Structure 1
C-alpha cells in the first residue's frame, strides 16, 4: 500500500532526492502525453523512470498526486508569464496587447503540448485543477484589461475578460493543432488579435472624452 503519512519526504531538500522527484514528474508528463492519464499507472511510471515502485511512493502517494503536481507547476508558469504582462506600460494598443497574450499562451502550450492535451482529455475523471485555475487566470486578464482601458465603471469588465480568455484559449489550442494541417500559426494569432483588438479598441474609443 502506498505510504500516505510521511509528507515531509515529498519535498526533498537534498540534490539527489530533488533529481529523483524531478525525474518522476518528467517521465509521468511524457507518459501522460503519449498514453493518456487513465492508461498510465504508477507502476509504468516507476518502470520508465528506472526505479522501484517503492521509491516512487516515497515521493508521491498515488497518480492523482503526480497529476496535481504537474498541473500546479503548469499553472504557476502561466500565472507568472501573464502577471508579467500587467507590468507592461499602458501605451501599447489593445490589439498588440491581445497579440502578446495569445503568443504567450501558444508558447506555453507548445512547450507543454502533450501534457496539456492529456489533462484536458481526462478532465472529467481527474481533479486536475483546471476549473479552479480558470477564475485565477481570468482575474489576471481582467487586471490587464483595466490597465489598457482605464477605469471600468461603465463597462462589464468581467464579461470582457471572459471573452478574451475563452477566445484566446481556443485560438491557442487550435493554432497548435492546425499547424500540422499547414496553417500558419502566427497568421492565425495575428488575425485573432486584429478582431479582439478592434473590439477592445472600440470600447476604449467610446470611453474617451469628445
Structure 2
C-alpha cells in the first residue's frame, strides 16, 4: 500500500473509499468484495492494490477516514462560538448532519466491533479524547460546572455520556427517519445539556422540572 503522490491518485483513492463506504454499508463487511468496491468506484481491481493491501485494510482506513471527517466537521462548526454550551448544541447538530450525509456510518462503525475490535474502541476513544479536551478547557474557564480540581474520571464519564446522547438521538432521527432531529428536539437537547453543564445553579433551577 502506498499514499498517492498526485491529485489524480488522491482522487482515485477517494473514489475507492467512497465506494467502500457504500458497499460495506449496503452489503456488510463479510458479504462485500473487492471486486464490488472497484466496480462501484469505476476502477480496475489492479488499481485497488495500488492503494490498499486487502479488504480489511480499506475497511480500517475507511473507519479512520470517517472519524477524521466527522471530527473536522464538528471542529469547524463550533470554532467561532463563544462558549461551551453553544458549542455543544452546534456540535450535536453537525454530527447529525454528517450522519445524514453518511447514512452508512452507523452500520460500518458497529460492524467494526466484530471485524477489528481495537479499531471500534479507537473510533469512540478518539471522539471522547477530543471531547474531553474541550470540556477540560471549558471547566478551567468556568463555563461548565464540575469538580474544583481537574478529574480525568469526571471528564471521561461526561464525554462518554454526551457521546451516548448523540449516538442514540442520531439513531432515533437520522437512522430511523432519515432526517436531522427537528428544531424542537434540538431545543430539548440543548435544555438537557444546560441542566447538566450550567455553572450557575440558579440557571438549572430556572428551567424547572423536565416535561413529561
Q: Does the TM-score normalized on the shorter chain lie above 0.5?
A: yes
Unaligned runs of 5+ in 1: 1-6
Matching of residues 36-115 of structure 1 within 5 Å: 36-84=28-76, 85=78, 88-90=81-83, 94=85, 96-114=86-104
Matching of residues 1-210 of structure 1 within 5 Å: 7=1, 10-84=2-76, 85=78, 88-90=81-83, 94=85, 96-114=86-104, 116-127=105-116, 129-149=119-139, 150=141, 152-154=146-148, 156-180=154-178, 185-201=182-198, 204-206=199-201
CA RMSD in angstroms comes to 2.8
Q: Deviations over 1:56-109 (max 9, x none)?
A: 11221111111122111111122223444366323x6x2x33311210110111
Query: Are 2:16 and 2:38, in contact at CA under 8 Å, matched by a contact in 1?
Result: yes
CA drift of 1:34 comes to 1.8
CA drift of 1:184 comes to 5.2
Q: Deviations over 1:136-184 (max 9, x none)?
A: 222222233334443654373332222112112221232203435x995
Moved over 4 A (4+): none
Query: Are 2:15 and 2:41, in contact at CA under 8 Å, matched by a contact in 1?
Result: yes
Query: Are 1:138 and 1:165, in contact at CA under 8 Å, matched by a contact in 2?
Result: yes
- Which is worse superposed, 154-163 or 100-109? 154-163
CA drift of 1:194 comes to 1.3
Query: Are 1:175 and 1:188, in contact at CA under 8 Å, matched by a contact in 2?
Result: no
Unaligned runs of 5+ in 2: 204-212
Distance 1:70 1:21 in 2: 11
How many pairs does the alignment contain? 193
Q: Secondary structure at the match of 1:122?
A: helix
Distance 2:176 2:187 in 1: 15
Distance 1:81 1:16 in 2: 24
